[in-house]
């Protein structure tokens, strides 16, 4: 009987450890958001549904404005604190069905499915406003922070690609355009929007 209990207990512990390892492999350790390893298969699934069923989806890329200056002025720990708070804002402002991921550095991606371009624009606008109005505080000092966004909708492409690269590239190009337009704005198919 003791061997059976031990075997059951060992199996549960192994299952817990495997689950923990899997979670660690698909999560960014700093922000606890999903990482690219999780994001890319989700984008392939969304592309498949868009191709097969015409399901709408869009991709928004976010980049914290002047983040190098933040790291230089308050240090990397302060910058890390800003990244964590921004991740919290992303989770608060997006829907449960959206895929929120840290793309790298101070870049983040949100993949929106089953929503119109106008709906995506509203959510992205709320995110920009939430960041602008949030008090990022480190050691009693308020750190002003804004974010820029580039949005690409699958309907803008001539054909649904088999890889997410064209959609990522379009969102990234628009993110760059938002930076060039003065930051703290979004760029989508309608152009620059200051919310």
* Cα gap 72→158, rounded to integer Å: 43
Task: Provide the 10 A C-beta neighbour count for residue 170.
Answer: 21
* Residue 144 backbone phi and psi in degrees, to 5: -70, 130
Active site residue 106: yes
| Catalytic hit among 20, 106, 139, 156 | 106
The structure tokens listed for 3 are 């061997």
**Taking a C-beta distance cutoff of 8 angstroms, is the pair 55, 118 a contact?**
no
102: left (phi over 0), alpha (psi -120 to 50) or beta: beta
Q: Are the beta carbons of 150 and 61 closer than 8 angstroms?
A: yes
Contact 108, 87 (CB under 8 A): yes
Q: Are 134 and 145 in contact (CB under 8 A)?
A: yes
CA atoms within 13 A on the CB side of 179: 14
Give the three-class secondary structure for 119.
helix
**Among 176, 165, 185, 45, which Cα is nearest to 107's?**
176
Catalytic residues, which ones? 106
């Amino acid at each position: 009987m003791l061997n059976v209990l031990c075997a059951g207990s060992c199996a549960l512990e192994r299952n817990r450890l495997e689950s923990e390892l899997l979670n660690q492999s698909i999560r960014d350790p700093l922000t606890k958001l999903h990482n690219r390893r999780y994001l890319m298969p989700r984008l392939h699934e969304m592309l498949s549904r868009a191709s097969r069923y015409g399901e709408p989806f869009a991709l928004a890329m976010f980049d914290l404005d002047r983040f190098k200056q933040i790291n230089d002025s308050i240090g990397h720990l302060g910058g890390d604190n800003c990244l964590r708070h921004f991740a919290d804002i992303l989770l608060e402002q997006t829907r449960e069905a959206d895929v929120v991921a840290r793309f790298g550095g101070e870049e983040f991606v949100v993949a929106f499915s089953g929503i119109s371009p106008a709906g995506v624009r509203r959510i992205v606008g709320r995110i920009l406003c939430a960041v602008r109005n949030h008090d990022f505080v480190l050691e009693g000092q308020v750190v002003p922070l804004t974010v820029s966004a580039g949005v690409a909708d699958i309907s803008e492409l001539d054909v649904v690609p088999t890889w997410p690269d064209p959609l990522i590239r379009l969102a990234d190009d628009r993110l760059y355009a938002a930076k060039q337009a003065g930051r703290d704005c979004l760029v989508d198919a309608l152009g620059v929007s200051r919310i």
